Structure 1
Amino acid sequence: MKQILVGFIMDGKAGGIDKYLLNFLGTVKAEAGAEEIEMDFLTDGSHGELKTYLAGYHSELYAIASLKHPIKQFRQVCSILKNKKYDMVYLNVSTAIDCVAAFAAKRMGVPERAIHSHSSGNDCESTVQRFAYDIVHKICRLFFYRAGTRFYGCSVKAGEWLFPKKITDSERFEVIYNAVDGDRFRYDESLRKEVRQELKIEDDVLVIGHMGNFCYAKNYPFLIDVFEQVHRRRSQSMLLLGGKGVELESVKVLVKKKGLGEAVRFLGWRSDTERLYQAMDLLLLPSRFEGLPVVGVEAQCTKLPCVFSDTITEEAKIQDHCYFLPLSEGPKSWAEFILQHQDYDRSQVRLTKEARYYDLENQREQLRRIVCR
């Protein structure tokens, strides 16, 4: 039996990394067999619901100190690795600051140490803190890779954010795209009508959507400004926002301040995103940075036109109605572009050849290689 310690998961619902890790767990267990792989997880909080879920896979959830207490975290990870002899540590992180567990694994002699990058920037609300974190990240990036034996990224851009060029240009680095279930995320005209009826949205309403964590990276002030410009020109328009996060309340205040309360719907965290995409007419992602947005891939699979900021890697484009705009052009220009592209036949949207990279079967093979290499 191969024993793997995986980090870092939040509550199982926090975002792209959590979604990826739960998919990783399910896929590897199904492909390798429940008796051949034992997989435990690291987290920095207490999550009862997640602990119960993981118990169904015979997986332990270890709560360790956050990076605010790096020495304590190092000692805790060393203790976990001492008590149970893991064959592999697989660390999924967003910045090089998350290097403590990797060096603990190296210190304890874990033979396989895989590091997987899922971002391309520091997601921090405070400008001062973000500046400080960027400096610390750049310093840690100089030596973080020395703790690893294998390296992955959800995109080339994410890999370059975390690892030096000598790593990303080598055979030790591999891109693992965030695959989605094509059957689940498939456009269905009848389902579109059903969901819009549930949400009480008239047929002539232009519905712009956004799904994600309410955080700095997603650039909500810009998103709301864009929708405000759209709504001025087309009153029969609506913005659907799904997700949760630290900026949720401040975004609600901004929406109210702009008088958009009747036109903006806050849907909360949802597990039925595939249904919500059906009701939308366009997905808007004006992110300040991304590793590779899973919601962007999901939405494109439902043939939903998408407008992304050009800070998002073009590796995310898998259909012919996906557009990239500079944030520097401003909300008014974005709104004009959206209104120019509001009329289309969704059934005519075509996936590109790059969509195969996001196929579940292709990803299953990659995930098998992670644990069976």
Structure 2
Amino acid sequence: MKPIKILQIFTVLNKGGAETNLMNYYRNIDRNRFQIDFLVHREHGFFEEEILNSGSKIYRLPPILPWKLKEYKKAVSDFFDEHHDYDIIHGQCSELGVFIYEEAKRRNVPVIIAHAHNARMDRDKKLIFRLLWKKRMRKSINQYFTCGKEAAENLFGKKLALQSYQMNNAIDVENFRFNEKVRNHKRKELNADTNINLVNIGRFNTQKNQLFLLEVFAEILKLNPNYQLFLVGLGDLETQLKQKVKELNLQDSVHFLGLRSDVPELLQAMDVFLFPSLHEGFSVAFVEAQTTGIECVISDGVPTESILVKENVEVISLKENAEQWAEKIIELRNFERKDVSEIIKKAGYDIQENARKLEDKYIELVKSTK
């Protein structure tokens, strides 16, 4: 039997939440039954070498720019002229996939999926176009995937959201299970074994709110100088963040770690996961953090449906200022870390089980079109 051919659509294959989530599934899906390729809009993503070494193909389109739509649409059409035998298009870039969905529909691709990842849109220079494209794309897709209820309602509207399939942002739970030996080793490696270590994982952008996080951290140090902050990620605001670190005189206490392949070990070494995001869909990084048993402090911009270990999570309103955030974080010092991996599995976020569910869903969708 020929494998089902699936084309995953991304902006770039870097270590963002949507990309990390899909890679978790990619590593666990039956490659004899499914051929998974990728169509991206930028060069040199973090995961590309792994993907190519696994036998998949990566194709490229130019960036989607509102003032260059004619060229972009031609590139999409040219792609489908050469590659017209996919059974499933799985769009991971929300409404930005609109022109791919439209062309796929014209080419009679049987299954066209848009996948909702965010509960709100960023107010960037593409906002007005994205709002238009969000409504427009609904005419071309025939399947609705989401990471959670709020993300589905944002991308599809409340009525269509009811038809959406929840593809959980699942992880390899065993890889993140709390381990005291790993924790102690990593803390020494980071020269962090005598400090209280705070960590944030995410793209350096407006949504993740790291500029405010630095203000909070500056207030924390006023109350207790024995704290360190580790920032894991890259992004457009990196230069601005480093400049703010200098302005606040935090150079000795803030560490930029870049993109990392040792996130499970890093989370073991930390004491508090800080997540002051303005909005989220269903964060993979937050699921990973909770699985390590770490104490988590999140904003009220993070959906409550993504809280899987309630006793380990403190929610603070974004209406509160940096000083109030700092005071509440400082108070959280009587925390006993323990293994919570079974709680995560029971909640339905282990990747092995979810990969089998996705395989069944893909097969069901293709069969329904025949």
TM-score scaled to structure 2, two decimals?
0.90
Offset at 1:38?
2.1
CA gap of 1:282–1:39, structure 2 versus 1, over 3 A, is same
For 1:356, the equivalent position in structure 2 comes to 347
For 1:87, the equivalent position in structure 2 comes to 87
Offset at 1:318?
1.0
Distance 2:349 2:106 in 1: 36
Offset at 1:140?
2.4
Q: Is the 8 A contact 1:9 1:17 kept in 2?
A: no
Q: Is the 8 A contact 2:11 2:93 kept in 1?
A: no
For 1:327, the equivalent position in structure 2 comes to 318
By relative contact order (CA 8 Å, sep 6+), the higher-ranking structure is 2
- Give the letter for the 2:36 counterpart: M
Q: Is the 8 A contact 1:78 1:105 kept in 2?
A: no
- Give the letter for the 2:44 counterpart: H
Offset at 1:44?
1.1
The C-alpha deviation readout for 1:141-185, integer Å capped at 9, x for no partner, is 223211111101111111111102221123xx1111211111110
For 2:254, the equivalent position in structure 1 comes to 264
Offset at 1:348?
7.6
For structure 1, which runs of at least 5 residues remain unmatched after alignment? 125-129
For 1:42, the equivalent position in structure 2 comes to 39
Offset at 1:64?
0.5
- Give the letter for the 2:360 counterpart: R
For 1:64, the equivalent position in structure 2 comes to 61
Offset at 1:332?
1.3
1:200 aligns with 2:191: yes
1:53 aligns with 2:53: no
Q: Is the 8 A contact 1:90 1:115 kept in 2?
A: yes
For 1:275, the equivalent position in structure 2 comes to 265
Distance 2:233 2:158 in 1: 35
1:24 aligns with 2:25: yes
- Give the letter for the 2:5 counterpart: Q
Q: Is the 8 A contact 2:8 2:39 kept in 1?
A: yes
Matched residue SS, 2:178: coil
Q: Is the 8 A contact 1:141 1:164 kept in 2?
A: no
Structure 1 counterpart of 2:135, from 142, 148, 151 = 142
For 1:157, the equivalent position in structure 2 comes to 150
Give the share of equivalent positions with the same residue, in percent.
Answer: 28
The C-alpha deviation readout for 1:48-72, integer Å capped at 9, x for no partner, is 8755433333322111021113333
Matched residue SS, 1:164: helix
- Give the letter for the 2:160 counterpart: I
Distance 2:46 2:268 in 1: 29
Structure 2 counterpart of 1:240, from 214, 221, 230 = 230
For 1:6, the equivalent position in structure 2 comes to 8
Matched residue SS, 1:253: helix
CA gap of 1:136–1:281, structure 2 versus 1, over 3 A, is same
Q: Is the 8 A contact 1:318 1:355 kept in 2?
A: no
Distance 2:247 2:26 in 1: 43
The C-alpha deviation readout for 1:53-99, integer Å capped at 9, x for no partner, is 333333221110211133333232233223232111111124x2431
Offset at 1:365?
2.6
The C-alpha deviation readout for 1:196-228, integer Å capped at 9, x for no partner, is 11111243x211111111111110111011111
Distance 1:266 1:367 in 2: 35
Q: How does 1:155-304 map to 2 (within 5 A)?
A: 155-170=148-163, 173-203=164-194, 205-304=195-294
Q: Is the 8 A contact 2:173 2:341 kept in 1?
A: no
Offset at 1:315?
1.5
Distance 1:43 1:97 in 2: 12
Q: CA RMSD in A?
A: 2.1
CA gap of 1:343–1:51, structure 2 versus 1, over 3 A, is closer
Q: How many residues align?
A: 358
Offset at 1:9?
4.9
Matched residue SS, 1:221: helix
Offset at 1:27?
2.4
For 1:127, the equivalent position in structure 2 comes to none
